[in-house]
């Protein structure tokens, strides 16, 4: 009878340990889901920011070289440039899901873009300022890529011959 009682006690202790483990896992499930959700939000924000920054690139290159580019249609009007910078500022309100290094780089870039937006389309946007802002833009894109812009390799259909 003592053997039966000892085996029952051990079984109850094991069941208690399993129950505790299950309770801990259930308690951690919402935290895990929120982490996955934040990672997806961060990836989406990185993609949207890079898309908008890519639109600004040709205009900053043209302002930095003081020459007409091969694709003048890619240049933004001063109004469109300001709107693009304004939309980047609006996206920065979601930056809490990003890494601190990304936030720092994007914050510095945004301050420079806002200054450049006021001068874009005028003679007051000097070559050096445009080139410095372009370098900050490239650095910000590199940091966004480093921290997870994409989950895999992008297939580039424009690089292949279609049959």
Q: Look up residue 79 and give its DSSP letter.
A: H
pLDDT given at position 136: 95
Query: Band of the pLDDT at 150, cuts 50, 70, 90?
Result: low
The pLDDT tens digits of the residues spanning 11-55 come to: 778 778 888 988 988 898 999 999 889 889 999 999 999 999 999
pLDDT given at position 112: 95
Q: How far is CA 25 from the centre of its chain?
A: 30
Is 123 part of a structural domain of the chain? yes
Is 158 part of a structural domain of the chain? no
Is 163 part of a structural domain of the chain? no
Is 11 part of a structural domain of the chain? no
Domain span including residue 80: 41-151
Enter the pTM of the model: 0.74
pLDDT given at position 156: 64
Is 24 part of a structural domain of the chain? no
Q: Is the pLDDT of residue 9 over 70?
A: no
Is 126 part of a structural domain of the chain? yes
Interacting residues of 95 by C-beta distance below 8 A, sequence separation 6+: 45, 102, 103, 106
The pLDDT tens digits of the residues spanning 121-135 come to: 888 889 999 999 999
Q: Is the pLDDT of residue 98 over 80?
A: yes
Is 137 part of a structural domain of the chain? yes
Task: Say how many domains are in the chain.
Answer: 1
Is 94 part of a structural domain of the chain? yes
Domain holding 134: CATH number?
1.20.120
């Amino acid at each position: 009878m003592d053997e039966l009682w000892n085996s029952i006690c051990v079984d109850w202790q094991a069941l208690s340990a399993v129950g505790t483990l299950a309770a801990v896992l259930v308690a951690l499930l919402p935290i895990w889901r929120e982490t996955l959700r934040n990672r997806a939000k961060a990836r989406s924000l990185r993609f949207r920011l890079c898309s908008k920054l890519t639109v600004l690139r040709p205009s900053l290159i043209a302002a930095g070289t003081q020459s007409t580019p091969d694709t003048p249609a890619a240049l933004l009007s001063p109004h469109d440039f300001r709107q693009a910078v304004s939309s980047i500022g609006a996206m920065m309100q979601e930056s809490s899901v990003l890494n601190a290094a990304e936030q720092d780089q994007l914050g510095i870039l945004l301050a420079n873009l806002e200054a450049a937006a006021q001068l874009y389309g005028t003679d007051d946007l000097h070559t050096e300022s445009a080139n410095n802002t372009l370098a900050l833009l490239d650095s910000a894109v590199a940091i966004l890529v480093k921290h997870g812009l994409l989950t895999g390799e992008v297939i580039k259909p424009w690089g292949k011959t279609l049959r």
